[in-house]
Amino acid sequence: MNDVLDVALRLVIVFAVFMVLPLVVGQTEHKVMAHMQGRLGPMYAGGFHGWAQLVADGVKFAQKEDIVPAEADRRIFQLAPAVALLPYLLVLVAIPIGPSEGAVGQVVDAGIFFVLAVMGVGVLGSLMAGWASANKFSLLGGLRTAAQLLAYELPMLLAAASVAMAAGTVSLPGILDAFEWWWLPWQIVGALVFFVAGLAELQRPPFDMPVADSEIIFGAYTEYTGLRFALFLLAEYAGIVVLCGLTTVLFLGGWHGPFGADGLGWVWTLLKTAVLAFVVIWLRVSYPRLREDQLQKLAWTTLIPLALAQIALTGIVKVAIS
Amino acid sequence: MAVPPPPPRPRIPGSGLAKGLAVTLRTMTRKTVTAQYPDVQPELPPRSRGVIALFEENCTVCMLCARECPDWCIYIDSHKETVPAATPGGRERSRNVLDRFAIDFSLCMYCGICIEVCPFDALFWSPEFEYAETDILELTHERDKLREWMWTVPEPPALDLGAEEPKEIAAARKTAEKLEAQRAQEAQQNQEAQQADQAQQKAEGEE
Amino acid sequence: MTLAATAAHAALAAHPAPSGFLSPTGVEIAFLLVGIATLGAALVTVTTKQLVHAALWLVVALGGLAVEYLLLTAEFIAWVQVLIYVGSVVVLLLFGLMLTRAPIGRSPDADSGNRWAALGVAVAAAGALVWVVVDAFRTTWIDLDGPAQGSTEATGSFLFRHWVLPFEALSVLLLAALVGAIVLSRKRGKEQS
C-alpha cells in the first residue's frame, strides 16, 4: 500500500511539474520576448502584469470548436497531439532534480537512452499531424520535421554519448554522481552541440523551418484548432523544459553548485534549467530563421564533426586520467 | 579602376551572433515604448489636433471658416438684429447673431484651415480625442458641445526667449503706458499747483 | 537483435531454471499479451491498404517489441530499440512515404503480386527464428529478484568482451552499406547532369 502511495505521489508531482513549468516558461517567453522588443507583453489577464495570460489562453482554446478537416485521416489526426505531448511527460519522470532518492520520478538504468528515445517518439506526433491533415502546407511541415529530426538526432546522441563516456554510466543520477566541476570546460563543445541539436529537434526558432509561418502557415499544425492545437503548443514548451533539464543534468552538473549541495540541490537544478530556458527564449528573439539548406548544412557539416571531436577528446582525457 | 575594397577587419568568428544577442539583451534592460493608452492617458503637446473648440463670444458670423473648409463640414446659421441707436438721433446698427454653429467631425479632416482663417480667434485646437460614437450622426458637434471643448483648450505655449511681443499685448501695453504717463503728468501738475498754492499762502502769512 | 538475444542467453545460462513452462506469473501473462498485441500489429502492418497506417502500425509493433525487451529486463536493448527503430527508422519511412503520392485513404495498388512469395519467405524466416530461439533457450528463466541481467553494464561487457568480433563485423557491414549508398547516389547525379 505504501509503495502504491509512493508511486502515485511521485506521478502526481511529476504531472504537476509537467503542467506548471511549461506554462511558466511560456509566460516568461511572453514577457521576456516583449521586453527584448521594447514592448510590455500581456498586462491584463490576472491583474498583475498579465500573469494569467496562458491560463486565459487555455480557457480560450478549450472553448473553441474542435474541427477535423473532411479529407483528413480522422483517427490519426486526432491522435497526433497526444503522441506529441505524452513522451515529454514520460521523459520528465526520469530527470533527477536533486541528489536524494526522492528527487527523481523513477531511476532508469539506461537513462540517457530512455530520454533520447522517448523524445524522438514525440516527433512522430508532428509527422502524423502533417500527413493526416490532408493539407499541402501540413505535408511540407511534416517533411521538414522529418528531415530536421534525421539530421539532428545524430549529433544530439553523440554529444550525450560523450557525457556517458566521461561518467562511465548511462544513468542520469549516475552521471550526476560522477560529475566534477572541470567537466564543464571539458564537455563544453558537447554541451553546445546537444543544446543546439535539442533546439532543432523541438523546432524552436531559429530552427523553426518546419513551422515557418511566412511560408507554410504553421507547418504540420496548420489544420489544428482548439484544445488539440493547445496540446501541440504545450508539447513545445514541455519540450523546452525537458531539453533544458536534460542539458542541466548532462552538462551543467545538475544539483551540484558552489554551495548548499545537500539540502538545496533541487534549487540549483531548477536555477540552471531556468537560465537555459531564458537562453532558449533569448535565441528565439535574437536570430532569424535558418533556411532549410542552412539547417541541414549546420547539422551535417558542423554539429556532427564537433560532436565526434568531443567524443575523441572525451576518450583521450578519459584514458589519460585513468 | 575599381576602388580597392577596404582591408577586412579582423573578425572573431561568432562575433556577429554575440552582437545579436547583445542587442536584444540591451533592449530588455531599457524602458519599453508601449503606450498603455486606456490606463494611462497620453501626454499630448498643446498643439495636438484633437478636436476643434468654439469660443462663440468671439464669433462674428463672418462665415470665413465655413467657406474655407475643404470638405464643407462647418454649418453656420445666423440672423441679423438691429440694435437701437446708442445716442438719440444716431444711426441704428445691425448685428449678426449666431443661431447654429456645428462641425461634422465625420467629415472633418483636421486640416485646421478654419482655425487659421478665423480673424477673431473664435476657433481653437484642443488635444481631446476621445469622442468616438457608435452613431455617425452624433459626430456632428453642435455649438454647446463645441463650447464645452473650449474648456479643454490648453494655454498656448510660452514664447521663445527674445521673441517679438504679440501685437495685442503690445497694443495693450502701449495704451497702459500712455494712460500711466497721462496720470503721472496730471499728478505732477496737481503737485505743482499745490506747491504754488502753499507758496502763496506762506507769502501771505509772512506779510 | 539476435546478437542481443544471444548475449542475454549467455547471461541467463548461469541461472538454471527453477520454474516450469509458462507458469502463470504476472510478468509472463503480460509478456504473452504484449506478444499477441505485437503480432497483431505486425499483421495489420502488412495487410492494411493505407500506407501511412502501415508505418504507424509498425511503430506499435516495434514498441511492443521494446516492451517485451523490458519484460525480459533488457532495459538497454529496449530503449535502443525505441531510439533506433521508432525514432529513426520509422521517421525515415514516413519521410519517404510523404515524398510519394500515397493518398490519405486506401491505396488501390497496395497489394503486391508477389505476396504469396513474400508470405512464404516470411513464414520460413519466422519458422527459422522461432526454431533457433526455442532451441537455444528452451526453458531458461530469468531471476527477477536478483540483479538485472539485461542491464546496460551486463549488455556492454558481453558485447565488447565476448562478442566484439561479430560487433565489429556488423559495423563493417553497415559501413559497406553506407559507402554503397553514397556510390549509388553519386552515380545517378552524374547521369542526370
SS3 track for B72-141? CCEEEEEEEEEECCCCCCCCCEEEEEEEEEEEECCCCCCCCHHHHHCCCCCEEEECCCCCCCCCHHHHEE
**Residue C90: closest CA among B41, A115, A131:** A131
Cross-chain Cβ contact A109/C99 below 8 Å: no
- Choose between C28 and A198: higher pLDDT: A198
Q: Which grid cell sits at A263? A: 539540502
Residue B32 and residue A35: Cβ atoms within 8 Å?
A: yes
Q: Is A259 left (phi over 0), alpha (psi -120 to 50) or beta?
A: beta
Q: With 0-12 CB in 10 A as exposed, 13-18 as middle and 19+ as buried, what is A8?
A: exposed
Q: Give the closest residue to A103 by CA, choosing from A293, A269, A292.
A: A269
- Decide: pTM greater than 0.80: no
**Nearest C-alpha neighbor of A95 from the set A253, A243, A245, A280:** A245
Residue C192 pLDDT level (bands cut at 50, 70, 90): low
Compute the distance between CA of residue A201 and CA of residue A194 in angstroms, rounded to an integer: 10
Does chain B touch chain C (at least 3 C-beta pairs within 8 Å)? Answer: no
Q: Is A279 on the interface with B (CB under 8 A)?
A: no
- pLDDT higher than 60, residue C17: no
Q: Does A181 touch chain B (CB under 8 A)?
A: no
Q: What is the mean pLDDT of residues B99-120?
A: 91
- Higher pLDDT pick, C163 / B3: C163
Find the closest chain A residue to B30 by CA distance. Answer: A38
**C79 to A114: CB separation less than 8 angstroms, yes or no:** yes
The reported pLDDT for the residue numbered B165 is: 82
Closest CA to A117 of A17, A229, A201: A201
Between the CA atoms of B129, B130, B133 and B136, what dihedral angle is there, to the nearest 10 degrees? 0
Is the CB of A264 inside 8 Å of chain B's CB atoms?
no
pLDDT (0 to 100) of residue C1:
41
A vs B: CB pairs below 8 A? 33
* CA-wise closest residue to C110 among B36, C118, C170, A29: C118
B24/A285 Cβ within 8 A: yes
**At residue B94, what is the residue type?**
S
Q: Give the minimum alpha-carbon distance from C105 to chain A in angstroms, rounded to a whole number.
A: 7
B81: region left, alpha or beta (phi > 0 left; psi from -120 to 50 alpha): beta
Mutation for testing the B interface, residue in A28, A29, A32, A35 having most B CBs under 10 Å: A35
The per-residue pLDDT for C124 is: 94
Asked if the Cβ–Cβ distance from B32 to A287 is below 8 Å, we say no
| Sequence-ordered alpha helix ranges (H) in chain A | 2-36, 53-63, 74-94, 111-132, 136-167, 172-178, 183-186, 188-202, 213-216, 226-251, 265-286, 292-297, 304-321
Task: List C-alpha distances in Å: A218 to A133, A141, B140.
Answer: 12, 8, 47
**Residue C138 · residue C16 · CB < 8 Å:** no
pLDDT tens track for A134-155 = 888 888 888 888 888 888 888 9
Confidence band, pLDDT 50/70/90 cuts, at residue C2: very low
User: Which residue in chain B is spatially nearest to A38 when comparing CA positions?
Assistant: B32
> Which amino acid does the sequence have at B28?
M
Q: Is A6 on the interface with C (CB under 8 A)?
A: no
Nearest to B54 by CA among B45, B46, B65, B43: B65
Torsion-angle region of residue A62: left (phi > 0), alpha (psi -120 to 50) or beta? alpha
Q: Is B54 helix (H, G, I), strand (E, B) or coil?
A: strand
Residue A72 contacts C, CB cutoff 8 Å: yes
Considering only the C-alpha atoms of chain C, give the largest distance between any 2 of them, rounded to a whole number of Å: 68
Sequence spans of domains, chain C: 2-162
Tell me how far apart the alpha carbons of residues A150 and B137 are, in angstroms, rounded to a whole number: 64
- Which residue from A86, A74, A71, A140 is spatially nearest to A118, judged by alpha carbons? A86
Q: Does A278 touch chain B (CB under 8 A)?
A: no
Chain A residues with CB under 8 Å of C95 CB are 127, 143, 146-147, 150
The CB density around residue C4, as the number of other CB atoms within 10 Å, is 20
Of C52, C80, C152, the CB nearest to A131: C52
B100 Cβ contact partners less than 8 Å away, ≥ 6 residues apart: B75, B76, B77, B78, B142, B143
With contact defined as 3+ CB pairs under 8 Å, the chains touching A are: B, C
d(CA A197, CA A199): 5
CATH architecture of C2-162: Up-down Bundle (1.20)
ipTM score assigned to the predicted complex: 0.78
Q: Is-contact B94 B81, C-beta < 8 A?
A: yes
Residues 162-181 of A with CB under 8 A from C: 169-171
Q: Given B28, B33, B34, which is nearest A36 (Cβ)? A: B28
Considering CB atoms only, which of C87, C95, C148 is closest to A121? C87
Residues of A within 8 A of B21 (CB-CB) are: 282-283, 286
| pLDDT 10s digits, A171-229 | 888 888 888 888 888 888 989 999 999 998 888 888 888 888 888 888 888 888 888 88
Return all residues near C76 (Cβ < 8 A) that are at least 6 apart: A109, A110, A113, A170, C150, C151, C152, C155, C156
- The residues facing B124 across adjacent strands are B53
A to C CB pairs, distance under 8 Å: 89
Answer yes or no: do B20 and A35 touch at CB < 8 A: no
Between helix A2-36 and helix A226-251 the angle, nearest 10°, is 100
The answer, yes or no, to whether the previous bond of B154 is cis (omega within 30 of 0) is no
Does residue A32 sit at the B interface (CB-CB below 8 Å)? Answer: yes
- Reported as a pLDDT band with limits 50, 70 and 90, residue A101 is low
